[in-house]
């Protein structure tokens, strides 16, 4: 009944991020920025953690839903007034952040503070997505990318600690 | 810049719930079921609390987004594979529940447990929305209605306690 | 610097649950009750999922903190008024539920609704912990046990689905 | 049965924050820093919003629990290993952040991102509490202060927007 297996779903999720101009590498760079002061890490390691986050069913569901909303709002297919509210990324609209919690929460509380930080500081690709607003709807996309980065940073921190305590 | 004031937004939110076959009264009945064992309450009181929840900006944003998603998925406008996943309300799809947290969290932790309970027990209109699946997309709608009821029940519990402790 | 490795922490967590009269088996039985209608499962399988939840650092931290609070409140060591509020498990006190989210959130949104349901229905050991109130402080313990069960049920549902979709 | 009314509880909460070296004014200054770039605001206004947050039952419960935990850990009354984990504010211990969500969530999603930001940037009194670590346990206190500030900033943002849209 359910037509896709997890591998296909993971591939489709990365495809749709790419279509929106977001590469796994871009997200890995944010993870590197977040974690570089806490120990020796490589960009490859960061990329592996981003990939691991993107293989989780909950992440896949959140990313695909977020990108789909931005897409239909770009095509002006949502009814008013929510069409305008999302299109203009109205200051107090926070459903994009709430949806991101589906990813952030999976990796414990460090993910949460990293997400809050990224949402305010807008590093790398998050900043670029933010600047495209006006020409293109990125209301949900920028938050979901911040969530993936925050979750991957949290995963990395947990795994490194695990190694250390053995 | 922002075109609607809160009163208009509240009115539009109730309108769109009505269009989907959900009356404020239906939600009030669920609140009554949830709270009747904890003290003397009337259906009118429950309705007032539902109305108060529906006047909150965060509720309005969550309800309008949820209803809009169900609407465009009903029109088959979301890209695959997320179109099928939401259309069939796939068992492990939980973004609808996560979105509902935007409302539930506003009224403290009682809201949370009431929401979890309603999501499993499906009382009244929630059950009816659930049974319409197959003919109509109600994936986000049933959870958002459960969230409004859970939040209103939590608001009622807090207010009654406030009175008591004075 | 950090004195315990994960294996020791896991052992100590189970020890302290046992001291409070909670066996891994008791929690496995709740998982079984929650999931038995969704496919063929054994009690052993449920127990494995409970064990997996109890090996997570975030779970260990939450359980040890919850049990420690109940213990010091039992010894009347918290300052007033919070001593009385927790001791009597005052109706609107919800910090115990919020702390449980540290565990529940790790396994996606099904965990959340299962937790809300258990918090209201109080199956098996949760009911027994609830009934000990008055003689013994179990304010945080009953919620944390519900959280472990809800998380394990969610983990089981995800794993079974994974197998199915291959 | 429940011995305190909300006014008394509010007074006791502020008393205990003061005893820990935290003034309402200190928290108001953080709110001012967070919000000064989004419109004309005064420190008095910020203080009013902090006071409003501190009158909420959920806030009171979270603050009193957080301060009580730091107090008993300071007195070495928690059992090991959680005594050492909290005392040293171990890097991956996140139950303090989770508890703070009880406050942050009450004011919608802006509260969440402000909280994540403060948890990383440590402005004003939060920085001072952080620097006292080693001499005094402030593991839960610094996060709970960040949560109050984040919630008050979110409350202010919502109220100002409300005024604007009328």
**Tens digits of residue pLDDT in B124-161:** 999 999 999 999 999 999 999 999 999 999 999 988 87
From chain D, the residues in CB contact with A109 under 8 A are 94-95, 97-98
Q: Mean pLDDT throughout D49-69?
A: 97
Q: What's the pLDDT score for residue D8?
A: 95
Interface list for chain C against chain A, based on CB atoms closer than 8 Å: 2, 4-6, 57-58, 102, 105-109, 158, 161-162, 164-166
DSSP type of residue B160: H
Exposure string (b/e) for D39-61, b if CB count within 10 Å is 16 or more? Answer: eebeeebbbbbbebbbebbbbbb
What contacts B24, CB < 8 A, 6 or more positions away? B14, B17, B47, B50, B51, B54
From chain B, the residues in CB contact with D5 under 8 A are 165-166
Band (pLDDT 50/70/90 cuts) for residue D166 is very low
Shortest distance, CA B165 to any CA of chain A (angstroms): 34
Band (pLDDT 50/70/90 cuts) for residue C1 is very low
Instruction: Report CA-CA distances (Å) from C97 to A108, B146, D99, D133.
Output: 16, 19, 10, 28
Nearest chain A residue to C159 by CA distance is A57
- Taking every pair of Cα atoms in chain C, the longest distance, rounded to a whole number of angstroms, is 56
From chain A, the residues in CB contact with B101 under 8 A are 98, 101
Q: What's the pLDDT score for residue C39?
A: 85
Interface test with A, best of C3, C53, C104, C108 (most A CBs within 10 A): C108
**D95 with A109: Cβ contact below 8 A:** yes
Q: Mean pLDDT throughout C2-6?
A: 75
Q: Which residue has the tokens 């008993």?
A: D72
User: Mind listing the pLDDT tens digit for each residue in A116-146?
Assistant: 999 988 999 999 999 999 999 999 999 999 9
Q: What's the pLDDT score for residue A31?
A: 97
- Pick from C38, A4, C91, A39: nearest CA to B84: A4
Q: What's the pLDDT score for residue D33?
A: 95
pTM of the model: 0.93
Band (pLDDT 50/70/90 cuts) for residue D162 is low
Specify the higher pLDDT residue, D65 or A164.
D65
Report how far residue C100's alpha carbon sits from residue B116's, in angstroms, rounded to the nearest whole number. Answer: 14
Q: Is the pLDDT of residue D1 over 50?
A: no
What contacts D63, CB < 8 A, 6 or more positions away? D13, D16, D17, D54, D103, D144, D148
Q: Mean pLDDT throughout B86-112?
A: 91
**C4 with A109: Cβ contact below 8 A:** no
Q: What's the pLDDT score for residue C162?
A: 63
**C114 with B120: Cβ contact below 8 A:** yes
Q: Mean pLDDT throughout D98-104?
A: 93
Q: Mean pLDDT throughout D126-149?
A: 96
Q: What's the pLDDT score for residue D140?
A: 98
The overall average pLDDT reported for chain D is 92
For helices C95-104 and C57-74, what crossing angle results, to 10°? 160
Shortest distance, CA A96 to any CA of chain C (angstroms): 17
Q: What's the pLDDT score for residue A160?
A: 82
- Pick from C129, C69, C137: nearest CA to C98: C69
Q: What's the pLDDT score for residue A142?
A: 96
The overall average pLDDT reported for chain B is 92
Percentage of chain B lying above the pLDDT 90 cut: 80
- Pick from D147, D148, D154, D30: nearest CA to D98: D147
From chain B, the residues in CB contact with A61 under 8 A are 82, 85, 92-95
Q: What's the pLDDT score for residue A138?
A: 98
Specify the higher pLDDT residue, D2 or D84.
D84
Q: Mean pLDDT throughout C52-74?
A: 97
Q: What's the pLDDT score for residue C165?
A: 41
Q: Mean pLDDT throughout D39-51?
A: 96
**A116 with D121: Cβ contact below 8 A:** no
ipTM, 2 dp: 0.94
Q: Determine which of A99-103, C73-77, C162-166, D80-84 has the lowest per-residue pLDDT on average.
A: C162-166
The overall average pLDDT reported for chain C is 92
Percentage of chain C lying above the pLDDT 90 cut: 80
SS3 content of chain C, % helix, strand, coil (to 5): 75, 0, 25
User: Mind listing the pLDDT tens digit for each residue in C133-143?
Assistant: 999 999 999 99
Cis-peptide into A81, omega within 30 deg: yes
Q: Mean pLDDT throughout C56-83?
A: 97
Q: Mean pLDDT throughout C86-104?
A: 93
Q: Is the pLDDT of residue B1 over 60?
A: no
Q: What's the pLDDT score for residue B160?
A: 82
Q: Mean pLDDT throughout B27-35?
A: 96
Specify the higher pLDDT residue, D166 or C159.
C159
Q: What's the pLDDT score for residue B165?
A: 41
Instruction: Report CA-CA distances (Å) from A52 to A45, C62, C69.
Output: 11, 25, 35
Q: Is the pLDDT of residue B112 over 90?
A: no
For D5, which of B2, B5, B165 is closest by C-beta distance?
B165
**Gyration radius of chain A over CA positions:** 16
**C95 with D69: Cβ contact below 8 A:** no
Q: Is the pLDDT of residue C131 over 70?
A: yes
Instruction: Report CA-CA distances (Å) from A130 to A142, A146, D110, D114.
Output: 7, 11, 17, 18
- Pick from C17, C35, C39: nearest CA to C26: C17
Q: What's the pLDDT score for residue A166?
A: 34
Give the neighbours of chain A: at least 3 Cβ pairs within 8 Å: B, C, D
Report how far residue C73's alpha carbon sits from residue B31's, in angstroms, rounded to the nearest whole number. Answer: 34
From chain D, the residues in CB contact with C62 under 8 A are 95, 98
From chain B, the residues in CB contact with D165 under 8 A are 2, 4-6
Q: Mean pLDDT throughout D35-44?
A: 92
Burial class from Cβ neighbours inside 10 Å (0-12, 13-18, 19+) for residue A7 reads exposed
From chain C, the residues in CB contact with B114 under 8 A are 116, 120
Q: Is the pLDDT of residue A2 over 60?
A: no
């Amino acid at each position: 009944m359910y037509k896709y297996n997890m591998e296909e779903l993971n591939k489709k999720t990365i495809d749709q991020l790419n279509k929106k101009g977001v590469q796994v590498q871009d997200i890995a760079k944010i993870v590197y920025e977040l974690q570089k002061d806490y120990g020796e890490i490589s960009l490859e390691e960061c990329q592996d953690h981003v990939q691991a986050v993107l293989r989780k069913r909950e992440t896949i569901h959140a990313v695909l839903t977020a990108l789909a909303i931005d897409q239909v709002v770009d095509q002006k297919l949502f009814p008013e007034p929510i069409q305008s509210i999302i299109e203009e990324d109205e200051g107090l609209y926070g459903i994009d952040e709430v949806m991101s919690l589906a990813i952030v929460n999976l990796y414990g509380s460090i993910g949460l503070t990293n997400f809050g930080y990224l949402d305010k500081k807008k590093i790398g690709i998050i900043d670029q997505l933010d600047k495209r607003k006006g020409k293109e709807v990125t209301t949900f996309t920028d938050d979901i990318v911040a969530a993936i980065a925050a979750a991957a940073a949290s995963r990395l921190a947990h795994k490194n600690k695990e190694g250390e305590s053995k």
